[in-house]
Amino acid sequence: MQSIHYPISGSCQCGLITYELLEPPLRVIACHCRECQKLSTSAFSLTAMVNASSIRFHGPLKHWERPADSGNTNCAEFCPGCGNRIYHYNPQQPEVLKLKPSTLADTRVIQPTLHVWVSEKQDWFQIPEGVEQHPTQPW
């Protein structure tokens, strides 16, 4: 596989929101909770944990939030045009963003090293052997 060069550009589906990721993600996580299944309309949602200082956004993001099972608030920023989710964050930890990495132009960084909420995982999906997994969220 070719090496990945930063910055990597990204955008929503309609192109109203664009961004540059300046450095590699801290971690890529697959979440199997029911809310992430709704979000992704699939078996899980992918998240690239990135430092907020390592990403530059362009365009008018829209905000939405909901209470999480952990008691935290789960905030989301998305495109007001096409509705594409761009990132989530915990307002108690604004220095780390949960980027939705399928919006990147180069998606080779999407290699989950952790699966969470596997207690709600779809039975038909098999997590690769040796990949870290937790029944709920470990933090």
What per-residue confidence (pLDDT) applies to 131? 92
What per-residue confidence (pLDDT) applies to 4? 87
18-21 and 55-58 beta bridge pairing: antiparallel
With contact defined as beta carbons under 8 Å apart, do 103 and 84 qualify?
A: yes
Give the C-alpha separation, 121 to 37, whole Å. 9
What per-residue confidence (pLDDT) applies to 2? 67
CATH class of the domain comprising 8-121 = mainly beta
Domain positions in the chain are: 8-121
pLDDT values of the chain reduced to their tens digit, one per residue, 139 residues = 568 899 999 999 999 999 999 999 999 999 888 887 888 878 888 999 999 999 999 999 999 998 877 777 889 999 999 999 999 999 999 999 999 999 999 998 888 999 999 999 999 999 999 999 999 887 7
Give the C-alpha separation, 46 to 67, whole Å. 19
Provide the whole-model pTM. 0.84
